[in-house]
A and B are shown apart, each in its own frame.
Chain A
Amino acid sequence: MLATSTKVSSVVVGVGDLQVADVRGTLVTHGLGSCVAVCVLLPSTGWGALLHFMLPSSRIDPRRAERQPALFSDTGIAALFGELASRGSLVQPVVKIVGGASTGLASGLDMGKRNVLAARKQLWHRSFAIAAEEVEGSISRTVHFEVATGRVRISTPNQPERVL
């Protein structure tokens, strides 16, 4: 199980990282480009988790995925729900996703689009709907996920803040 952030109000989630916090916490991840942040709140337990994954599939390096599952969509999302399930039953999780930006590569190579598709597929397989999302486009994003309210604040340089 991950170290749980119960005392600190703000926890930074790095690239290929997964963090869990209770209602006192805000989970923050910076510089989302083609990576995707998956924010999940379990209202019944008051726990929230944020996954910042970098690549769509662990099939390219399963051994690497064993060491750092949060790098990939499939192993990362499995780890995220594993962490939340260890803290209570997965009843009506509120799922929001952010990121998946691109630089103009063709769709088959566009890492942002592929990451978003991979996240949707993983969630669909678990029958979890996405409550809100801000994905794709060509902007960098920083995410603040407030566990107490479930609000996901998104900031981008030179743009107004958005809230999901």
Chain B
Amino acid sequence: MTGLTPSPLIDAVAPPPVALASLAVVLGDEQPKAHELEEVVRNDPGLMVRLLAVANSAAYARGAPITDVRRAIVRLGVREACQLALALSSGFLAAPLAQYGGSLWRSSLYTAVVAERLGQVLKIRRAGTLYTAGLLCDVGKLAIEASGRELVPDASASFLEVEHRAVGTDHARLSGELLAAWGLPDDLVDLVTHHHDPRSARQVRLALALHLADAVVRQVVAEGVDALSHEVSPLVARGLGLPSSVLDLAVLRASDFFQSIDEVM
């Protein structure tokens, strides 16, 4: 990934549920396989219960209640079921972050959905990766929070610079290091590491879509102290040629998705 030794800061972050890395691999496939998803979900009883709850929620319920994972996957569709399962395995994002003000929960779910939809509209290959990248691109903030070092906001500096001053690195790099430590695929690690510097990513189009999604969501979900203080790359300032209605619809879908997940968490 970076060729550098990971920061010791990531050691303070508890590992995520085992299912997370497996789900990321399943969703990274152009055509996620139902049987692979089913196997991952069956191995995590808590996840299974929550996924069934979503399948039977007002947002997704059709007909009789479902009590079987396989039928839930059929009802939800494999890709959406996989996205839901990933979100349901990411409850650790809801931890309050005093230094940042708020948690990563809402913004992460929004970024996941918006990034994936932008990837689809832009017809970028492997857009499924964008969902996972959007969901996890800010987990490095958990490491900075856990460090106990004080972030001192400075209106004349970007928040990445503020993070550097406090801990000698930034949340994007730490996010990449955490994902690598958690065993997530290397392309995902690279994408997350460069989500504030898309030109340096190996897959620049994917990184630009993620960067745009991040910029769009930060203005809508302005919950953190840093939400509106990251620079937007000139490469995406014009929205990669997308009309505003595409961005608005993506945000609207993210809002719906968030509500359906938040109800069962």
Q: How far is the CA of A38 from the CA of B39 in the complex (A)?
A: 49
Please tell me which one of the listed residues A35, A57, A103, A110 contacts residue B218 in the complex, with CB atoms under 8 A apart.
A103
Q: How far is the CA of A35 from the CA of B245 in the complex (A)?
A: 16
- CA gap between A101 and B237 in the complex, in Å: 15
For residues 12 through 45 of chain A, which have their beta carbon under 8 Å from a beta carbon of chain B? Answer: 15-16, 30-35
* Residues 51-85 of A contacting B (Cβ, < 8 Å): 54-57, 60-61, 64, 71
When A33-B218, A104-B232 are in contact, do A158 and B225 touch as well, CB less than 8 Å? Answer: yes
Contact across chains for B219 and A102 when beta carbons are under 8 A apart: yes
Contact B225 A104 (CB under 8 A): no
Q: Return the chain B residue nearest A16 by Cβ.
A: B255
**Which of B231, B236, B248, B251 has the most chain A CB within a 10 Å cutoff?**
B248
Assembled-state Cα–Cα distance A103/B227 (Å): 8
Does residue A105 face the partner (Cβ distance < 8 Å to B)? Answer: yes
Complex CA–CA separation, A22 to B252 (angstroms): 31
Task: Identify the closest chain A residue to B102 (Cβ).
Answer: A31
**Contact residues on B (Cβ < 8 Å of other chain), bracket:** 20 to 34
The answer to whether A55 and B225 touch across the interface, beta carbons within 8 angstroms, is: no
Chain A residue with Cβ nearest B227: A140
Chain A contacts for B124, CB-based, 8 A: none
Residues facing A in B184-228 (CB within 8 A) are 215-216, 218-225, 227-228
Contacts A31-B102, A102-B219, A103-B228 hold; do A158 and B153 have CB atoms under 8 A apart?
yes
B229 near A: Cβ within 8 Å?
yes
Main SS of the interface on chain B? loop
A contact residues, range: 20 to 34
For chain B residues 225-258, which have a beta carbon within 8 Å of chain A? Answer: 225, 227-232, 236-239, 242, 244-245, 247-249, 251-252, 255-256
A93-123 vs B, CB cutoff 8 Å, 1 = contact: the mask equals: 0000000011111101111101000000000
Report whether B228 and A140 are in contact in the complex, using a CB–CB cutoff of 8 Å: yes
Inter-chain contact A60/B215, CB cutoff 8 Å = no
Q: Does A160 contact B (CB under 8 A)?
A: no
User: Does residue B91 face the partner (Cβ distance < 8 Å to A)?
Assistant: no
Find out whether the CB atom of B225 lies under 8 angstroms from the CB atom of A71: no
Given contact pairs A64-B252, A105-B239, A111 touches B219 in the complex (Cβ within 8 A): yes
Q: In the bound complex, what is the Cα–Cα distance between A31 and B102 (angstroms)?
A: 9
CA distance A157 to B227 in the complex (A): 11
Do the beta carbons of B237 and A106 come within 8 Å of each other? yes
Contacts of A110 in B (CB 8 A): 219
Interface residues of chain B, those whose CB is within 8 Å of chain A, are 101-102, 153, 215-216, 218-225, 227-232, 236-239, 242, 244-245, 247-249, 251-252, 255-256
Q: Which 3 A-B pairs have the closest CB atoms?
A: A33-B222, A140-B222, A104-B232
A→B interface (CB under 8 Å): 15-16, 30-35, 54-57, 60-61, 64, 71, 101-106, 108-112, 114, 138-141, 157-158
